[in-house]
Amino acid sequence: MSYDIAQENKEILARYKDLITTSYRILDEDQNKLIRKAFDMALDAHKNQRRKSGEPYIYHPIEVAKIVAKEIGLGATSIACALLHDVIEDSEYTYEDIQKAFGDKIAYIVNSLTKISVMNHQNISVQSENYRKLLLTLSDDFRVILIKIADRLHNMRTLGSMPLEKQKKIAAETSYIYAPLAHRLGFYSIKSELEDLSLKFINPEIYFDIEKKLADAKEIREQYLKEISEAIRTHLEEEDFEFQIKARAKAISSIYRKMLKQSVSFEEVYDNYAIRIIYTCEDKDEKFIAWKIYSIITSLFHSNPSRMRDWISQPRSTGYESLHLTILGPDKKWIEVQIRSERMNEIAEKGVAAHYKYKEDFRKNTDDSNFEQWIRQIREVLENQQDFSTSELLDNIKLNLYQKEVFVFTPKGEIKILPKGSTALDFAFSVHSDLGLRCLGAKVNGKLVPISHQLKNGDQIEILSSKNQRPKQDWLEFVNTSKARNKIKAVLNTQKNAHTEEGKEIMLRKLRHAKIPSSEKDIHKLQKYLGYDNVQEMYLAFREGKIPNTSLRRFIENKNIFTTFLSKFKTGLPKPIIDLQQKNKTSDLIVFGKNEEKLPYKMAKCCTVVPGDPIFGFLTINEGIKIHHDACVNAMNLRAQYAHRVMPAKWADSAEFKNRVKIVIEGLDRIGLLNDVSQIISRGMGINIISMNFSADDGIFFGEINLEVHNKPQLDETIQQLKQTPNVLKVRRI
């Protein structure tokens, strides 16, 4: 393929000029020289490289640097690192070269980014270890993780040039790790874009359907939001406020989450629109003006009290501050309104990076104690993870990262922020690990409660403890923070190990007395004979006296009989007969991989598929290949954590295929409705009805129908015909 090098060089220069447009106004001469020097090295390092799309590779670091500079708002060091972030990995330049040219700090950041990228190219089962190392950088330099998020954002924006399976893997990883991380660091715009782009590649059918519906309604929506904005604007101008109003539709991924959570269609999501009011004021007047604007809006429109969120009086641990309310517009449509100052808005848009601007010393400023508390929690998880698998580690981190929060108080009135659903025991561990391990109960607002009591906003907690208390196994059933869970598991494991060693000594002593060999092989035979899943369980049973001497005598007798039996029959057992006809019949429906191989498989129970549905195969440890729908609730986690076990799959021959699918139907009750529905399904479409369950209440009916269908077009046509039936208002596949 030939390339227009002269034109590409012009484009490279244009992109670089766009990058420095902002920086030249706000940075000094030395800082701008640093950026130019980094650009020159990156240009040389990537001069002969191209991306999958065929574009010059240098486009990518320039675009990442733009995101770092303009969307995240970092300075010269970060911009230089963004330009250099792939230099060590993809060129002849070394860590020492960058260190010599730019110094220790930039060399450290670029090298950290290189390590993360290298791990991304390795087996994806180490993804949680990758994530751990990513988070470890929080304690060293925030800029590593911020540049990595920028890198992932640009990769997602250009993901269309990658192969289909690679798209799904990267999108799943993004949705599983990077979007929640961006959210937790306060980058709400970036988080929304990452989620939208992930949905676009993971479930394109849903994404483009919602996108089309938003586009179809754009003109009406804009006019509607304009009318409401003007009504608000008029009243705010009367108060001489300096402000701007931004109106928009909600993110596609946000709308889809609501559709799933509420089990409703796009049309039934009631707050697809949002208005943001950003005002300018002195710092001392921020809260006063926010509540004044709130009172003006609630005097103009009815508001939903249950949807009101006050993150100004008590900001989120990320530093996010805003007033949220949901109002009822002129034609009975719900609209979310966000009220925030310019400072609050910048922190909402640029998260951690905005703290560098507003706080001269981010680490030492007490105003950022909430964020510092979160960083301490993450470091505790990372430092206390030796006894846990990497998947457990990822779950522990996600447990603290992504849950909503409750704000509670110590007896002295100090605020503690815990994940929603936390218990009195979680609170005890948050104060001190030793207090958690000795916790007997608690007083919440002066009332005695058990340690499993769930906490609510505003609760004041006093922990009751005893030096004789010890952690118990059932504590793991109700704790909700990773710190508490990790500490309890560690103590229980220590206790269990000690008990296991005691049990092993008791067992060995009994084996010696019974003159039974105690080799590893013999011990495993004894374990299987006694029916324990592993030797540790058997050791504990010996310690607790659950295995009498008579069981050992029977083991000796059976062992002697079995040995005699084997000596008579030297030939192996006959191999099981495989029903080849059934195997071939199953394997003909779906094929796997680029070579379209026919392999045996089973349908996953977590989702239902019919021919025409997008599918993939997942290689399980014990049950072979399982077929999942691309939109399966487990698909994202499987692709993100076990991409090496995901197999591309497609339908080959569906003539003999049948699968059960459930549909839900709702509407207004009338005589003959049930008959009409069954006639459409059975006679009109020739589909077998496995079961029907209909109920009616006050003229509203609800039905669940289990069908046996051959393919997706047959199912889609059936749903379409049912929707056209009089009095039927909604039909959807579960």
**What CATH number is associated with residue 32?**
1.10.3210.10
- Is there a single domain that holds both residue 561 and residue 585? no
Asked if pLDDT for residue 118 goes beyond 70, the answer is no
The better pLDDT of the pair 18, 577 is held by: 18
Do residues 196 and 252 touch, judged by C-beta distance below 8 A? yes
> 171 φ, ψ to 5°?
-65, -40
The closest alpha carbon to 74, from 150, 10, 131, belongs to 150
- Is there a single domain that holds both residue 601 and residue 635? yes
Q: Which of 8, 55, 90, 211 is catalytic?
A: 90
The better pLDDT of the pair 348, 212 is held by: 212
* Angle, CA of 499, 502 and 508, to the nearest 5°: 140
Ramachandran region, residue 706 (left: φ > 0; alpha: ψ -120 to 50; beta: rest): beta
- Whether residue 456 is contained in a domain is answered as no
DSSP run (H or E) holding 564:
helix 549-568
Asked if pLDDT for residue 200 goes beyond 70, the answer is yes
Q: Which sign, positive or negative, has the C-alpha torsion 277, 282, 283, 284?
A: negative
Distance CA 494, CA 489 (A): 8
> 445 φ, ψ to 5°?
55, 40
CATH code of the domain covering residue 683: 3.30.70.260
* Angle, CA of 89, 92 and 98, to the nearest 5°: 75
Rg for the chain, CA atoms, rounded: 31
- Is there a single domain that holds both residue 314 and residue 171? no
- Is there a single domain that holds both residue 168 and residue 236? no
Q: Which of 16-20, 139-143, 375-379 bottoms out in mean pLDDT, i.e. has the lowest?
A: 375-379
- Is there a single domain that holds both residue 175 and residue 130? yes
Ramachandran region, residue 146 (left: φ > 0; alpha: ψ -120 to 50; beta: rest): alpha
- Is there a single domain that holds both residue 30 and residue 116? yes
| Per-residue burial over 407-443, b = 16 or more CB atoms within 10 Å of its CB, e = otherwise | bbeeeeeeebbbbebbbbbbbbbbeebeebbbbebbe
Residue 301, token pair as written in the block: 């429109």
Q: What is the pLDDT of residue 684?
A: 66
Please count the other Cβ atoms lying within 10 Å of the Cβ belonging to residue 587. Answer: 16
The closest alpha carbon to 611, from 542, 710, 529, 506, belongs to 710
- Write down which residue in 177, 201, 225 finishes a domain: 201
Q: Which of 193-202, 374-383, 417-426, 447-456 bottoms out in mean pLDDT, i.e. has the lowest?
A: 374-383
Residue 335, token pair as written in the block: 């609209």
- Is there a single domain that holds both residue 526 and residue 629? no
Q: Provide the domain count of the chain.
A: 5
Categorize the per-residue pLDDT at 89 as very low, low, confident or very high, splitting at 50, 70 and 90.
confident
> 729 φ, ψ to 5°?
-100, -30
- Is there a single domain that holds both residue 726 and residue 631? no
The residue written with tokens 């484009």 in the block is 11
- Whether residue 470 is contained in a domain is answered as no
- Is there a single domain that holds both residue 646 and residue 666? no
Distance CA 46, CA 98 (A): 15
- Whether residue 575 is contained in a domain is answered as no
- Is there a single domain that holds both residue 708 and residue 640? no
- Whether residue 315 is contained in a domain is answered as yes
- Write down which residue in 336, 358, 380 finishes a domain: 358
Q: Which of 281-285, 437-441, 555-559 bottoms out in mean pLDDT, i.e. has the lowest?
A: 555-559
- CA atoms within a 13 Å half-sphere pointing along the CA-CB vector of 256: 21
Greatest C-alpha distance within the chain = 103
- Is there a single domain that holds both residue 66 and residue 177? yes
Do residues 438 and 413 touch, judged by C-beta distance below 8 A? no
Categorize the per-residue pLDDT at 614 as very low, low, confident or very high, splitting at 50, 70 and 90.
confident
Do residues 298 and 325 touch, judged by C-beta distance below 8 A? yes
Residue type at 457 in one-letter notation: N
Residue 502, token pair as written in the block: 């005691």
Categorize the per-residue pLDDT at 579 as very low, low, confident or very high, splitting at 50, 70 and 90.
very low
Q: What is the pLDDT of residue 693?
A: 84
Categorize the per-residue pLDDT at 581 as very low, low, confident or very high, splitting at 50, 70 and 90.
very low
Do residues 132 and 390 touch, judged by C-beta distance below 8 A? yes
Asked if pLDDT for residue 670 goes beyond 70, the answer is yes
The better pLDDT of the pair 76, 559 is held by: 76
- Is there a single domain that holds both residue 691 and residue 628? no
Task: Measure Cα distances from 728 to 16, 720, 722 in Å.
Answer: 58, 11, 7
- Whether residue 435 is contained in a domain is answered as no
Distance CA 408, CA 443 (A): 13
Q: Which of 55, 89, 502, 704 is catalytic?
A: 89
Mean of pLDDT over the chain: 80
Residue 362, token pair as written in the block: 């981010």
**Span 683-726, pLDDT tens digits:** 767 788 888 888 877 778 888 888 877 777 778 888 888 888 88
- CA atoms within a 13 Å half-sphere pointing along the CA-CB vector of 127: 21
- Whether residue 474 is contained in a domain is answered as no
Interval 453-475 mean pLDDT: 87
Do residues 25 and 33 touch, judged by C-beta distance below 8 A? no
DSSP 665: E
- Write down which residue in 651, 673, 698 finishes a domain: 651
Q: Which of 388-397, 404-413, 598-607, 627-636 bottoms out in mean pLDDT, i.e. has the lowest?
A: 388-397
Q: What range does the domain containing 289 cover?
A: 211-358
Crossing angle of the two packed helices 142-157 and 164-173, in degrees rounded to 10? 150
- Whether residue 535 is contained in a domain is answered as yes
Q: What is the pLDDT of residue 385?
A: 53
Please count the other Cβ atoms lying within 10 Å of the Cβ belonging to residue 4. Answer: 9
Q: Residues in the chain, how many?
A: 734
Is 90 catalytic? The answer is: yes
| Per-residue burial over 144-174, b = 16 or more CB atoms within 10 Å of its CB, e = otherwise | bbbbbbbbbbbbbeebeebeebebbbbbbbb
Residue 123, token pair as written in the block: 């087996």
Do residues 645 and 699 touch, judged by C-beta distance below 8 A? no
- Whether residue 120 is contained in a domain is answered as yes
Do residues 248 and 227 touch, judged by C-beta distance below 8 A? no
CB-based contacts of 174: which residues, under 8 Å, 6+ apart? 152, 156, 194, 197, 198
Do residues 324 and 43 touch, judged by C-beta distance below 8 A? no
